[in-house]
Structure 1
């Protein structure tokens, strides 16, 4: 009650910043709980996504009395790519370090620099090329040092997860340009449901301990379900650049929670690569933000 009154009093823009910051913190907890659970990637994906789909569907129904799900070509594809993000990230986190998984997933913006000019006919700028080269060099560092075969596969899956993230963002932007105002919740519901349908045939067992049930309930209800609803609300009040920059909190806090929780320490190469990638992406987006501000002032 107090929190609701406080949020209603603060300016809309600041409210958006609070929503997205809180969302990023919820997202950042995924690495720790994926590592803590002794279940395999398909078991975690099945229960987490099944619970998340039901959570978002139920809350949306209570708020709006009905849920309009869209199954046009773009909506279906965006749901498929969202499902890919979810499954591949869990698999990557199980196989490599949490830092590697999250940093490599956050390479999504660099793929957008290539995809947007091709599919959305945006201008490819010189800054994009510099960002791509720097990020590619950062990605190479993740494959340095002593790596087991599982680490290598995990890194590759994390990169593919980032590609899915880029395609998901691209399709959402394409829908917005086409005047489809359905938002991302459609993909969140269908994408999570799709994950549950796929993984139900791949999990070795449905049996869970009490602790596993509690962790999976948290992950499904809060870490995925409610977090995306909060994010969907927050992006109404802030720019896309601001939301992307604040969301990088996830990549920063994810390995910190894992280090505190289980003592997993990423390699010095991974930390260097992650800092290079995040720095390049922030530099590119902050540059875009300044350019827009200059245009408005002039």
Structure 2
């Protein structure tokens, strides 16, 4: 048998339908956790954004360490870090770069521009997975990706005033590229537990933020929300994503992640009374409809009995 690591066309891991369904749910839950980011941020009054990044990353790292120790024990956790190898380091670097670029990009461009770039994550993930590992992308997935990009474009179109910065938009594109690569690597190396990689990513982000922050002092009020910002929004979201993304195709994992920019404005609207614009509602409806239809078709496909002699898996040749 050809070694998958040395073969130009990778053999994707075999997962059961139950595991694939669990992967769908876990990746959706990661997007749900990440969607609370804007709501938590509205409660924090710290002036230095690097201070926020530092404490958020520290609390996320602490949560992920405690989660792994609880699940695998101290020796098991240390083994996970040792066994993650280069794929884990690559995923950690991707998440660290993406989280850092997000903060820097906000100084040059609008959140709307960043969200528009992130709408391309499913497309980039599908392209990377197909080009590098020949992971098949169905026509239905391509259609859903196109609908998601169109919907998010409608959502942010009111904020695109033409005053764009090449640096800001370049960083926003880099965020999308890094997240896409992390998604594809997590899927390709499904045998590698990526939770320690996400933990390392938060440590790297915290270390860089520490070198940029003007102060680490925050109020008790801010620290409480920074704790929730790090544990619930970042830490739990990363844990769900690292566990679920290895069980489903990269394009679909990235597609489910698009629920984050859709649900985010809803929580801010409900909690902070920031009413979304008409275009945001229309674009969000397009995206949610595309996602729900696609996910429904995927679950319908999974419930069909497999014909004898048809594995449904890509050929290693």
Q: Which residue of 1 is the match for residue 15 of structure 2?
A: none
User: Does the 8 Å CA contact 1:34/1:93 hold for their aligned counterparts?
Assistant: no
Say whether 1:64 aligns with 2:77.
no
1:85 CA displacement? 3.4
Deviations 1:62-109 (A, max 9, x none): 441232314633222111111233334556678645x87667635422
Change (3 A) 1:101 1:265: farther
Please name the residue that 2:196 is paired with: 186
Post-superposition offset of 1:24:
4.8
TM-score (norm 2): 0.69
Distance 1:242 1:114 in 2: 12
For residue 112 of structure 1, what is the aligned residue in structure 2?
125
Q: State the match for 2:90 in structure 1.
A: 77
C-alpha RMSD over aligned residues: 4.1
> What does residue range 35-184 of structure 1 map to in structure 2 within 5 Å?
35-39=42-46, 40-62=48-70, 63-66=72-75, 67-68=78-79, 69-70=81-82, 72-89=85-102, 96=110, 105=118, 107-142=120-155, 144-147=157-160, 149=163, 160-176=174-190, 181-184=191-194
Shift of 1:249: 5.3
1 CA distance for matches of 2:32 and 2:294?
A: 23
Equivalence for 1:5: none
Gaps of 5+ in 2: 1-17, 309-317
Structure 1: segments with no counterpart, 5+ residues: 1-10
**Alpha-carbon distance change, 19 to 128 in structure 1, aligned in 2, over 3 angstroms:** closer
Aligned to 1:225: 235
CA–CA separation in structure 1 for the residues paired with 2:87 and 2:24: 29
Report the alpha carbon displacement of residue 242 of structure 1 after superposing the two structures with TM.
9.0
TM-score, structure 1 as length reference: 0.73
Please tell me whether the aligned partners of residues 96 and 151 of structure 1 are also in contact (alpha carbons under 8 angstroms).
no
Deviations along 1:252-274, one digit per CA (max 9) or x if unpaired, are: 43212212333334443344334
CA displacement 1:205-250 (0-9 Å, x = unmatched) = 22211111111112223332244445656779x8669977876654
- Specify whether residues 205 and 85 from structure 1 end up closer, same or farther in structure 2 by C-alpha distance, changes over 3 A only: same
Count matched residues. 282
Mark the CA change 1:202 to 1:112 in structure 2 (over 3 Å): closer, same or farther: same
Q: Indicate how the Cα distance of structure 1 residues 125 and 53 shifts in structure 2: closer, same or farther if over 3 A, else same.
A: same
Q: Tell me: CA distance 1:287–1:113, structure 2 relative to 1, closer, same or farther (3 Å).
A: farther
Cα deviation code 1:176-215 (max 9, x no counterpart): 2xxxx23220221111011011111112222211111111
